[in-house]
């Protein structure tokens, strides 16, 4: 490895399995000291235990790296504050926050209960906001004290948040909210040396194993396009000094493919300079739609 993150202190949430585990190991391989956060819960957020986080720490230490486990609930203010404190108290600071923790409660909208909505919003959206809020407060204080850091935030959205996904109204809404949160963080925190970006990864994890079960290594190359380790190199680069100047962007990452997502941009427009009638507004809307690019299909509709 190149030591791209040598000396940096990195926090990864949901790092006991899947993408988070791959990210934590990849950062450690590049010289970072890693705080491995994980509650050890099931796919639906139930249960819990320290085993997954501890196992990742042991793997990092066995490979010659430095890591510490954190078992706090980052969707609570106390847990998020203790996460930042774990980095500062153990390693003397915090340079990179990777928000990755999450689980699923998939239902069609007519069957989606309020508890399932709240649980997914809590772990994904609130679980991004609270660690970011406490890390941002730390970085602002450091900057005001003349100890500014080249801080990095990498948030985890999803194609479901960019395009929508049938049966995942709660998850898609939360992941779309993460994109908005990332853009605001990039705009507000840049003055303190913080860069914030988001990824929309596609990989085989507990959350996606049914969708990608048949997508295995290509027989001729041995390359497993859906392995979570394929996403981590981009995350490590975004979390390093090498990404200087890159902020407020969203990237799709899958296999060997990286795509810069361009988001909402103004398309065809028409301005009469006066109030319209409903009929004229509809006629104009149809005209503009005919001139515009059609939307990409929602996941699960094709």
Q: Which residues are catalytic?
A: 158, 171, 175
90-121: b (≥16 Cβ within 10 Å) or e: ebebbbbbbbbbbbbbbbeeeebeeebbebbb
Q: How far is CA 18 from CA 59, 67, 74, 230, 280, in A?
A: 14, 17, 18, 11, 52
Give dist(CA 13, CA 298) in Å, integer: 28
């Amino acid at each position: 490895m190149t030591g791209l993150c040598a000396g940096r202190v990195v926090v990864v949430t949901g790092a006991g399995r899947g993408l988070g585990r791959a990210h934590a190991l990849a950062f450690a391989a590049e010289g970072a000291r890693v705080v491995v956060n994980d509650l050890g819960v099931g796919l639906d957020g139930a249960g819990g235990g320290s085993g997954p986080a501890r196992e990742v720490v042991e793997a990092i230490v066995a490979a010659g790296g430095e890591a510490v486990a954190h078992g706090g609930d980052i969707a609570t203010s106390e847990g998020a504050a203790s996460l930042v404190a774990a980095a500062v108290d153990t390693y003397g600071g915090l340079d990179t926050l990777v928000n990755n923790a999450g689980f699923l409660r998939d239902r069609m909208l007519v069957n989606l209960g309020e508890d399932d909505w709240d649980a997914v919003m809590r772990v994904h959206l609130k679980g991004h906001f609270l660690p970011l809020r406490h890390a941002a407060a730390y970085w602002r204080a450091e900057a005001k004290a003349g100890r500014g850091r080249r801080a990095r935030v990498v948030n985890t959205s999803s194609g479901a948040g960019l395009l929508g996904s049938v049966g995942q109204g709660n998850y898609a809404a939360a992941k779309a909210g993460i994109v908005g949160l990332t853009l605001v963080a990039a705009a507000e925190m840049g003055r303190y040396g913080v860069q914030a970006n988001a990824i929309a990864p596609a990989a085989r994890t507990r959350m996606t194993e049914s969708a990608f079960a048949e997508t295995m290594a290509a027989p001729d190359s041995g390359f497993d396009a859906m392995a979570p380790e394929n996403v981590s190199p981009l995350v490590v680069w975004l979390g390093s000094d090498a990404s200087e100047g890159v902020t407020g962007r969203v990237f799709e990452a899958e296999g060997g493919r990286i795509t810069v997502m361009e988001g909402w941009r103004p398309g065809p427009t028409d301005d009469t300079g006066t109030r319209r009638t409903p009929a004229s507004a509809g006629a104009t809307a149809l005209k503009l739609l005919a001139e515009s690019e059609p939307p990409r299909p929602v996941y699960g509709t094709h």
